[in-house]
Every structure is written in C-alpha cells, then in structure tokens.
A and B are shown apart, each in its own frame.
Chain A
Amino acid sequence: MELAIKLIIFLVLVVTGYFAGSAAEKKHYRSIREREKALLNLPAVTLKTPPYANEEIAESGLVCGSAVISTDYFKFFLASLRKFFGGRLRTYESLLDRARREALLRMKAAAGDADIIVNVRLETAPIGGKENAKGGVMSVEVLAYGTALKLKHR
C-alpha cells in the first residue's frame, strides 16, 4: 500500500537523521571546541579602529572564512512540528551556532600569525535544497570576514 511505503521511507529518514545527525553534530562540536581552545589567543573583535597606533602595525589584510552547514532530516521534521506550535526552534539554534563558530574558526585560521582581527562581520544566508521551494531550508551559509593585523614587535 502506498501509504505504508511512504510511512516507512519517512521513518527510515527520520531515524537515520537522528542517529547519524547527532553523531555528526557531536563530532563537529568537539572539533570546534578543540580549535577554539587552540586559537584562543587570537582575538577577533568588532571594533573598527584598531586598538594600536598606526606605527605599531606591520601588515594588515582581509581574512574571511565561511561554512555551509546542513541539518539532518530529524531536525527538519522536528522544526516543522515546532513551527506549527510556535516557540524556540532549538534544532536550528544548534545549526546556526555550529555554522558561525566554524566560520569564525576558519577566518582565524586564515589569519595565520596575526595578532588581532578587527571589524569582524558575519553574514548569514540560507542555502536551500529543493525544500527551499516549499520554504523549508535545510542548510545555512555563514561568512565571517575581518581585517587581520600583525604588529611590528612581538
């Protein structure tokens, strides 16, 4: 029966999404936390004016990092239920959190041995699969960019 087949496919997707998705997310978070610890000494700030005098700065350059992260089917289904009732979409929160931290980390990594990154900006854009047509976005792109400064003496 058609209905049974559709239901089975749906259940398989949801279950796979849940297990595989949570595993992938945990791994990703672990990697994020490790790299954040390693890059802790490179500050990224949103200040426009570098907190150093012009003479102290050796070089500067634009650095950016971006990441596109997608949710799993379980999260997508849970979010559609959630949107029906209203309230906080917890599943998308973690998606965005991961994407942003990943983008920032990649930006910091691109800065090499800079001393500080100033005027950091973050841009978020939803990138859709075919679900986008119906309004259900499953992935998001974050771009982080700033000016990396290297000081003369350190």
Chain B
Amino acid sequence: MAEPMRIRATLNGDVADVRILMRHPMETGQRKDAKGNIVPLHFIQNVVVAHNGKTVLDAQWSQAVSRDPFLGLRVKGAKAGDKITVTWTDNHGDKRTDETTVAAAS
C-alpha cells in the first residue's frame, strides 16, 4: 500500500515554498536482491501538484529519480489556508494523493 507523503507549504510573501517527501522504492530494474534475482522496474512516472484544485506543476520522472523521492516547487499567488494537493502515479498504476494547507510565514 502506498505510504503517506509529507508535504510542507510555507509562505514567502505570496509564494508558497512547497516541499514534498514521498516513500517509493524507485527501482531501476537493474538491481539484484539478496537471492540474485533482478528487482523489477518500479518507479513513480508522474507527479501532479495542484493549488486549490488547479494544476500548477506536472512532472514526469524516470527511474533515475532517487528512492524516497523529494520534490520542491514554488507556488505563486498563494495565501495561508490554500490547499496544495499532490498525486503521484507509478509504472504499476499505483497512485497516492495527499494534501496540505499553506501555512502562514513563521
């Protein structure tokens, strides 16, 4: 089962600094397990970030993105309380969506 992401969104003026930590093996399909068998290709292919329901970033990834991937982006015209929604989809068709609200600048 896909594990939850950690999403931080903090305001810098009217730009939200969004940082996302995801749990995913991002297997390249070239690694062998302890028994010597190839671990199959398994990686996040697509990440969509939406701000109050509107897509702001649409990312396509290869298996070269690191395990337990991180994504940082900056959302324009943001206010405290706005919703940031993140959805990833992998090459197995698994997906995960998490969301957070933009926190006021500290």
Real binding pair: no
Interface residues of B (CB under 8 A from A): none
